[in-house]
């Protein structure tokens, strides 16, 4: 993997561990010579992961919609800042630039980005590893809900397994390096109709 997109909050959240782990993730990416692709902001967990990468001499590429750039939240020290017109263009560009995805703690935007990447993978539009760094159990409730989707027959277990999870950065990156996308056929076939 040469580039990883990180989705995370533009806020820092209520627990200092979120910022510490975002910074450490950035530092670890730089040490592994993996470039960061992210939302381009200097604030919150987004700023922390970029600062971590840059502090260790790594490369950070931000993708920011014009309407957010005008609010002066763009990180000033990025290797590259790409401005786009819409949030959808942002997600598409971030996908185009990366070899895998990690979600840190975040809100609606982070979940939107994470689930769009999972949906694209489920549809066979890409075969990239998609991962959650489950900092301090932040995603525990979401993972229970995803299991319920499988239990209720609304998500195939093979698709659930596309989501890699760990609370350790090194372990997560190792899982991503070794990921092999499932070869899944259509959800609906003639036998199901």
pLDDT greater than 90 at residue 170? yes
pLDDT, mean of residues 39-49: 96
Do 50 and 78 contact (CB within 8 A), yes or no? Answer: yes
The tokens for 23 are: 């910074």
Question: Can you give the pLDDT at residue 78?
Answer: 96
Q: Where are the domains of the chain?
A: 3-177
pLDDT digits (tens, 9 = 90+) for 57-107: 999 999 999 887 666 688 999 999 999 999 999 999 999 999 999 999 999
Question: Can you give the pLDDT at residue 67?
Answer: 83
Question: Can you give the pLDDT at residue 191?
Answer: 54
The 3 state secondary structure assigned to the chain is CCEEEEECCCCCCCCHHHHHHHHHHHHHHHHCCCEEEECCECCHHHHHHHHHHHHCCCCEEEEEEHHHHCCCCECCCCCEEEEECCHHHHHHHHHHHCCEEEECCCCHHHHHHHHHHHHHHHCCCCCCCEEEECHHHCCHHHHHHHHHHHHCCCCCHHHHCCEEEECCHHHHHHHHHCCCCCCCCCCCCCCCC
pLDDT digits (tens, 9 = 90+) for 120-158: 999 999 999 999 999 999 999 999 999 999 999 999 999
Question: Can you give the pLDDT at residue 176?
Answer: 98
The tokens for 134 are: 């489950």
Question: Can you give the pLDDT at residue 71?
Answer: 64
Mean pLDDT for the chain overall: 93
Q: Fold for domain 3-177?
A: Rossmann fold (3.40.50)
pTM, 2 dp: 0.93
Question: Can you give the pLDDT at residue 187?
Answer: 53
Handedness of CA 101, 105, 106, 107 (dihedral sign): positive
pLDDT greater than 50 at residue 162? yes
pLDDT greater than 50 at residue 193? no
């Amino acid at each position: 993997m040469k580039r990883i997109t990180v989705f995370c909050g533009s806020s820092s959240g209520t627990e200092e561990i979120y910022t510490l782990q975002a910074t450490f993730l950035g530092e670890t990416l730089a040490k592994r010579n993996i470039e960061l692709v992210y939302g381009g902001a200097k604030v919150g967990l987004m700023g922390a992961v970029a600062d971590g990468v840059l502090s260790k001499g790594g490369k950070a590429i931000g993708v920011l919609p014009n309407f957010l750039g005008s609010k002066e939240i763009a990180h000033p020290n990025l290797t590259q800042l790409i401005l786009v017109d819409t949030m959808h263009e942002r997600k598409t560009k971030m996908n185009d630039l990366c070899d895998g995805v990690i979600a840190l703690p975040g809100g609606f935007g982070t979940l939107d980005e994470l689930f769009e990447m999972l949906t694209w993978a489920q549809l066979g539009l890409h075969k990239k590893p998609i991962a959650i760094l489950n900092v301090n159990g932040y995603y525990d409730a979401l993972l229970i809900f995803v299991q319920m989707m499988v239990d209720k027959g609304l998500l195939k277990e093979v698709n659930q397994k596309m989501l890699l999870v760990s609370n350790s950065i090194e372990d997560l990156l190792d899982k991503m390096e070794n990921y092999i996308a499932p070869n899944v056929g259509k959800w609906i076939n003639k036998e199901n109709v």
